[in-house]
């Protein structure tokens, strides 16, 4: 949900609560005011009737409300003594409505000569159900109008105010460290947005500088390491070919060369992994994965035969992926090499490819691997293994770069690695 819509939703809920509470208070106060006004009117009608009765005794003969708003009846002194002015709501039959309607009635007692009379004065009152209905409809219209006003303000005024913020978000979404471009911002008079623009610009400049420094360090370190490693290997090879060494010395030289070769592979793998994570492989094109898989299988035929591994394949699709072709080959090669290296003599490798998945199954250790650590750097099931422990880390980095999903399962005594492209 967008920020403006989120704020509108909260405004709508709060406004509904506030209007509801306000409507209740307004209704109670309005009824109280209506009753006060009617009671004042009844008091005034009572005084008019008493004045009229003092001048015209026929008023005392009106005992029903047939054609008037009051009626009078004689009461004994004892009853008059206990009677106080009473205001109450009651119902009376109205000819025009042909139904009983609510009225407000004042009951009081007065003395005329030596006699005492009870006077009842009535006045029409507002029907509460009609009042509530009208109030509810009025409040609904008010609420709808306020919500419509808020929406209009959001789309016209607030969206214009927040334009620098959304522009900044769009620029951040398109920003790439490996292809850093100047970061223009919209001019604004709002202090918070200006501070945000300055902070983001400083942060990006710092990140770009750090990225370039790290990139240069990795490239320089890799280059500086490769040269002495290559020189050391060449000199050891020349020393071994000299022919004046004993078997024990040759064996020691062989171990040193093996460690140097492993260090060389490790250096190349770390450099490759760093380049992938830093998105330095920019060239992308349409890659047919079936062709990549077939080429990789052909390259590994000698290793498969050397380890006496049976290869089966099932190609049911040819995914067309937009990615760097070198990385596509690295992904397939690393997964296939992992299935061969961590297999057992006379084992099985099964390769399957569909429109959305690439799967490799292989025999190997008779227990599942640690799926949580399998794709971490330098993870090896056997500490003595000659592997660098970076092959699956590189495969995972390639998958993360292009949004693929890679996972591991152990089923039917086989280790299964699967890459999903969607």
Q: Tell me how long the chain is.
A: 422
Cβ pair 364, 344 in contact under 8 A = yes
Q: What's residue 350's pLDDT?
A: 92
Report the distance separating Cα 167 and Cα 163, nearest Å: 6
List the chain pLDDT tens, one digit each, 422 residues.
666 677 778 878 888 888 888 888 888 888 888 888 888 888 888 888 888 888 887 788 887 877 678 888 888 887 888 888 888 888 887 776 677 778 888 888 888 888 888 888 888 877 667 777 888 888 888 888 888 887 777 777 777 777 788 878 877 777 776 666 676 777 777 788 788 888 888 888 887 787 777 777 766 776 677 777 777 778 777 777 766 777 777 777 777 877 777 777 666 766 766 777 666 666 788 888 899 889 988 888 888 888 888 889 888 888 888 888 888 888 888 889 888 888 888 889 999 989 889 999 998 888 888 777 777 777 666 554 556 667 788 888 888 888 888 888 888 888 999 998 87
Residues 6+ apart with CB under 8 A from 364: 342, 343, 344, 347, 415
Residues 6+ apart with CB under 8 A from 154: 4, 5, 7, 8
Place of tokens 């109008």: 145
Paired strand residues for 418? 359, 407
Give the DSSP H/E element, type plus range, for residue 53: helix 3-55
Looking at residue 243, the DSSP 8-state letter turns out to be S
End-to-end CA distance of the chain: 25
Give the DSSP H/E element, type plus range, for residue 340: helix 325-341
How do the domains of the chain map onto residue ranges? 3-147, 177-280, 285-420
Q: What's residue 334's pLDDT?
A: 87
Q: Distances from the Cα of 47 to the Cαs of 41, 42, 72, 78, 118, in angstroms?
A: 10, 9, 14, 23, 14
Place of tokens 């109450």: 88
The CATH architecture that domain 285-420 belongs to is 2-Layer Sandwich (3.30)
CB count, 10 Å around CB of 137?
A: 10
Residues 6+ apart with CB under 8 A from 326: 281
CB count, 10 Å around CB of 388?
A: 19
């Amino acid at each position: 949900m967008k920020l403006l819509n989120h704020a509108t939703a909260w405004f709508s809920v709060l406004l509904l609560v506030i209007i509801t509470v306000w409507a209740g208070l307004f209704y109670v106060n309005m009824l109280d005011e209506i009753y006060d006004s009617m009671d004042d009117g009844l008091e005034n009608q009572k005084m008019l009737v008493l004045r009229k009765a003092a001048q015209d005794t026929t008023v005392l003969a009106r005992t029903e409300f047939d054609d008037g708003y009051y009626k009078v009846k004689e009461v004994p002194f004892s009853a008059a003594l206990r009677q106080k002015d009473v205001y109450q709501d009651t119902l009376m039959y109205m000819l025009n409505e042909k139904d009983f309607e609510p009225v407000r009635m004042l009951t009081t007692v007065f003395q005329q000569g030596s006699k005492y009379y009870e006077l009842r004065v009535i006045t029409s009152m507002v029907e509460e159900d009609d009042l509530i209905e009208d109030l509810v409809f009025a409040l609904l219209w008010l609420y709808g109008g306020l919500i419509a006003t808020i929406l209009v303000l959001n789309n016209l005024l607030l969206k214009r105010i927040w334009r620098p913020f959304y522009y900044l978000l769009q620029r951040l979404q398109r920003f790439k460290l490996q292809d850093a471009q100047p970061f223009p911002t919209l001019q604004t008079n709002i202090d918070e947005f200006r501070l945000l623009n300055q902070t983001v610009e400083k942060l990006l400049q710092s990140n770009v500088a750090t990225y370039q420094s790290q990139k240069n360090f990795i490239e320089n370190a890799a280059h500086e390491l490769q040269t002495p490693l290559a020189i050391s290997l060449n000199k050891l090879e020349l020393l071994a070919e000299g022919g004046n060494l004993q078997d024990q010395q040759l064996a020691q030289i062989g171990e040193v060369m093996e460690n140097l070769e492993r260090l060389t592979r490790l250096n190349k793998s770390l450099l490759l992994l760093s380049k992938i994570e830093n998105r330095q492989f920019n060239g992308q094109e349409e890659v047919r994965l079936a062709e990549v898989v077939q080429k990789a299988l052909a390259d590994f035929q000698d290793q498969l035969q050397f380890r006496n591994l049976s290869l089966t394949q099932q190609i049911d699709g040819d995914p067309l992926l937009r990615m760097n072709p070198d990385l596509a080959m690295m992904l397939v090669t690393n997964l296939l090499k992992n299935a061969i290296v961590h297999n057992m003599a006379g084992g099985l490798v099964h390769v399957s490819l569909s429109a959305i998945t690439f799967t490799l199954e292989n025999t190997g250790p008779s227990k599942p691997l640690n799926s949580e650590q399998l794709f971490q750097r330098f993870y090896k099931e056997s500490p003595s293994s000659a592997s660098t422990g970076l092959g699956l880390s590189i495969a995972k980095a390639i998958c993360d770069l292009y949004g693929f999903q890679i996972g591991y399962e152990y089923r039917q005594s086989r280790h299964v690695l699967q890459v999903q492209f969607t």
